[in-house]
Structure 1
Amino acid sequence: MKFNSQFISFILHFIFLVTFFCPIYSLKTSNHQIVNQTLQFEKEFQKINKTIKAQLQRINKPAVKTIQSPHGDIIDCVLFHKQPAFDLPLLKGQKSSDSQAKTEGHNQINNSSVNSQLWSLSGEFCPKETIPIRRTKEEEIKYGRKSISFQERLYEVITYVEGGGYHGAKGIINVWAPRVENAEESSSSKIWVQSLTAKESIEAGWQVCQKRYGDNRPRIFTYWTVDAYKATGCYNLQCPGFVQTSRKVVLGTPVGPVSIIGGDQYDFNLKIEQDQKDQRWWLEYAAGNENYERVGYWPFSLFKELKDEANLIQFGGEVVDLNPTGDHTSTYMGSGQFAQQALGRAAFIRNMKVAVTPNTYIDLPDPEYLEEKPDCYSIKGGFDKVYESYIFFGGPGRSQKCP
């Protein structure tokens, strides 16, 4: 078959055009996809930012007075009935409650008394009819929203009692500033009051978590959930639920001084107690030899299983391990010393008691002990005339025995 020169020229030109322009078209298509993905990312980013700002607006209520803490926190004095708890539809009708008036008469603020709440070192307190709330920062909301792509591991060493109905728990909690390896990890010492299924839980104690609070100081905290930590509840006042009544105690602020290995030991008193009359679960706090201060309460309307009584009480320490490498975290529990090191070196909770009826407290009846990884964190307990029911606990985390 013969081809004339014009036809051959046409074929060669067509091949050139296809060879030259197809990659350009492909590049344009690829660039178009990148532009679309970038626009989609920007839209998603703007949506998240809008959501975060809306959350901050809901949490950080308008302040009557603002106090700058010596340790960097901003404390907003918010009108009692304007606090986040009353955003919850279940509590709308309780806005006119005289709960604060009832507790203030019982807990007079004495500026000359010893106070392990470091925010009050400035000598300032919130005015009457207001409560102090630590202002939440944008970074804290982002941390709360962060999706962890690797398996979160939780390690606890606890003593516990279960079965019969309990109406309260109290103890004296030793304060430390444990080393925390990862800014998103946490280490805490606390008391848990739970339903038998552990689906419903209220907790309080001290906690170190840099991402949540901005530093590595031990801070007093509360937590609650009614669905086994899945979707409900939050820390402190960062969602509707816990009703604050105290003008003296600020949740989420540092406590101190902290204990020193082989040196002075510092602690505070904590009590979670159910009111027989209205079935509220009250949180009470005391530093040194002070009288208990009623911090606030979890309303009975939050719960189903904890409405009448608790069936499980726990005391001890907890470490959240987010180490993505698979190795155990080197985050300390307590002082970082094992329980066997005992007084002056290991963390402790002493004078532990449970209420078998409202206001009737007894020493822990036949307590059980749980240590999930004893080569990493350990616990031991007993009874003493001075310390009554007590536990020592803690550990350094990762080591040769705890890889």
Structure 2
Amino acid sequence: MALPCGSGRRWSRVVKMTFCLFFLIPMSSVGNRNTNTIFNKKQKLEVQQQLKRLNKPAVKSIESPDGDIIDCVDINKQPAFDHPLLKNHTIQMRPSSYPEGFSFDESNDVSSNSKPKLTQPWHLNGRCPEGTIPIRRTKEEDLLRAGSAANYGRKKHHSIAGDVDNLGISHEYAVLIEEGDKYYGMKANLNVWNPHTQETNEFSVSQFWMAAGETDNDLDTIEAGITVYEDLYHDYQTRLFTFWTDDSYRTTGCYNLDCPGFVQVDNQIATGATVTPYSTYDGTQRTVEFYVYKDIKGNGDWWLKIAQRNFGYWPSSIFSVLSDSASTVEWGGEVTNVKKDGQHTTTQMGSGHFPEEGPGKASYFDTLNVIDSKNVLRPPWNGRTMVTDPNCYNIIAHEDYFYYGGPGRNPNCQ
């Protein structure tokens, strides 16, 4: 389905913006292609400098069974503090205030030794000690696949006249959008699957977005969820991620801790790392809970709770419009479609099955809530669905949950 970037059709700001963007992370070097012919000495030096910035000295390193290396980094030496606005930042280990209706359980506090309600393969080989945070190590080949050190981990904006499809990549969605109020947080339980992606430069994402801003230049977002993205992670596993931007994905923001900004305080969960086990069709369903809340009485930071643990926060100071509140909350799925050979690809969203198949078969979000202008946690009241093409991916929404997803190419989706 084609959507002109200047279309007057009613799409959300976040979806319309990201539809008119694409990720500038070129396909991996394959076959006999030699990266030495692509990267000159200056570029290789930039890669080494970027690796040094990204990979902080480790107190302990853990080799994960899936091939990742998790570095346990001193919490005070994490990448966040390379941000010019966070040079003298004092780490907050927990928020100073909570929204009405928030249930705080001390057993889930980051200072406890309780195991997370989310498992990652690296846990099998060790844990990070108190006073450190786990960071997935960035390798040289990761930066080489990105085309340049500056591109790694970012969403890159391009001035596109007309239709994104003219560039061969379209973004397709099945999302629920809540708007019409000021929002200070949200909650969602996200169903975990391992969707198939056909092409290496396609991805499949299940996530939430919280956004503020009206123009292409000042859109602020905070985002998190799970993704399969071979071109970024070099495999087809489902991985946990966070993301943020302060300028419509132009120059600020990145995935996980790949640029300074997000402050992590939890020592048991690593973004960019895989999440297992997956849900099974007509079998056991796996979920992970995400909870965002603004510390209104404190510094105004946006706290992220993952699997009932205070994971970390986006400092209010790194944002412009979002430093106050969000104007839109969205939940759902996004895929990219490169239309290989002129056909829609078989990249799946969610479980790869349509929402009409229902429980145990279709992917879902449940326990949906927003924190409204009164700082009260409540179900969505002003929700509307947005679907790019229901023949490829669809959504069926209820009061505080929805089923969504689809297989991509099928007899009705070409």
TM-score in terms of structure 2 length: 0.79
* Aligned partner (choices 147, 170, 174) of residue 157 of structure 1: 174
Confirm whether residue 213 of structure 1 aligns to residue 213 of structure 2. no
Using the TM superposition, give the Cα deviation of residue 221 of structure 1 relative to its aligned residue in structure 2, in angstroms: 0.3
Confirm whether residue 82 of structure 1 aligns to residue 77 of structure 2. yes
Aligned in 2, Cα 1:60/1:112: closer, same or farther, shift over 3 Å? closer
2:185 corresponding residue in structure 1: 168
How far, CA to CA, are the matches of 2:277 and 2:228 in structure 1? 14
How far, CA to CA, are the matches of 1:64 and 1:188 in structure 2? 32
How far, CA to CA, are the matches of 1:43 and 1:390 in structure 2? 48
Using the TM superposition, give the Cα deviation of residue 326 of structure 1 relative to its aligned residue in structure 2, in angstroms: 3.5
Confirm whether residue 302 of structure 1 aligns to residue 304 of structure 2. no
The structure that has the greater radius of gyration is 1
The residue correspondences of 1:1-400 to structure 2 (distance < 5 A) are 45-94=40-89, 96-99=90-93, 106-110=109-113, 114-122=117-125, 124-145=126-147, 150-197=167-214, 199-276=219-296, 277-286=298-307, 292-357=308-373, 360-383=376-399, 389-400=400-411
Q: Kindly indicate whether the alpha-carbon contact (under 8 Å) linking 1:168 and 1:358 is maintained by their aligned counterparts in 2.
A: no
How many positions carry a matched residue from both structures?
Answer: 351
Q: Kindly indicate whether the alpha-carbon contact (under 8 Å) linking 2:304 and 2:312 is maintained by their aligned counterparts in 1.
A: yes
Moved beyond 6 Å, runs of 4+: 100-105, 146-149
- Give 5+ residue unaligned stretches, structure 2: 1-35, 97-105, 157-165
How far, CA to CA, are the matches of 1:91 and 1:177 in structure 2? 36
How far, CA to CA, are the matches of 2:370 and 2:309 in structure 1? 19
Q: Kindly indicate whether the alpha-carbon contact (under 8 Å) linking 2:228 and 2:239 is maintained by their aligned counterparts in 1.
A: yes
Quick one: which amino acid aligns to residue 165 of structure 1?
Answer: K
Aligned in 2, Cα 1:97/1:50: closer, same or farther, shift over 3 Å? same
Q: Kindly indicate whether the alpha-carbon contact (under 8 Å) linking 1:64 and 1:76 is maintained by their aligned counterparts in 2.
A: yes
Per-residue CA shift, 1:85-136, capped at 9, x if unaligned? 1111110011x435379999933454666542332133x2212221110101
How far, CA to CA, are the matches of 1:396 and 1:50 in structure 2? 42
Per-residue CA shift, 1:269-324, capped at 9, x if unaligned? 111111111111111111xxxxx111111111111110111000000001022345
Aligned residues with identical type, % of pairs: 38
- Give 5+ residue unaligned stretches, structure 1: 1-40, 287-291, 384-388
Bigger RCO (CA 8 Å, 6+ sep) = 2
How far, CA to CA, are the matches of 1:304 and 1:337 in structure 2? 39
Quick one: which amino acid aligns to residue 55 of structure 2?
Answer: N
Q: Which has the higher helix share?
A: 1
Q: Kindly indicate whether the alpha-carbon contact (under 8 Å) linking 2:356 and 2:396 is maintained by their aligned counterparts in 1.
A: yes
TM-score in terms of structure 1 length: 0.81
Using the TM superposition, give the Cα deviation of residue 352 of structure 1 relative to its aligned residue in structure 2, in angstroms: 0.4
Aligned in 2, Cα 1:115/1:358: closer, same or farther, shift over 3 Å? farther
1:6 corresponding residue in structure 2: none
How far, CA to CA, are the matches of 1:116 and 1:109 in structure 2? 17
Using the TM superposition, give the Cα deviation of residue 267 of structure 1 relative to its aligned residue in structure 2, in angstroms: 0.5
RMSD over aligned Cα, in angstroms?
2.4
Per-residue CA shift, 1:16-35, capped at 9, x if unaligned? xxxxxxxxxxxxxxxxxxxx
Quick one: which amino acid aligns to residue 130 of structure 2?
Answer: K
1:28 corresponding residue in structure 2: none
Using the TM superposition, give the Cα deviation of residue 138 of structure 1 relative to its aligned residue in structure 2, in angstroms: 2.0
How far, CA to CA, are the matches of 1:315 and 1:225 in structure 2? 17
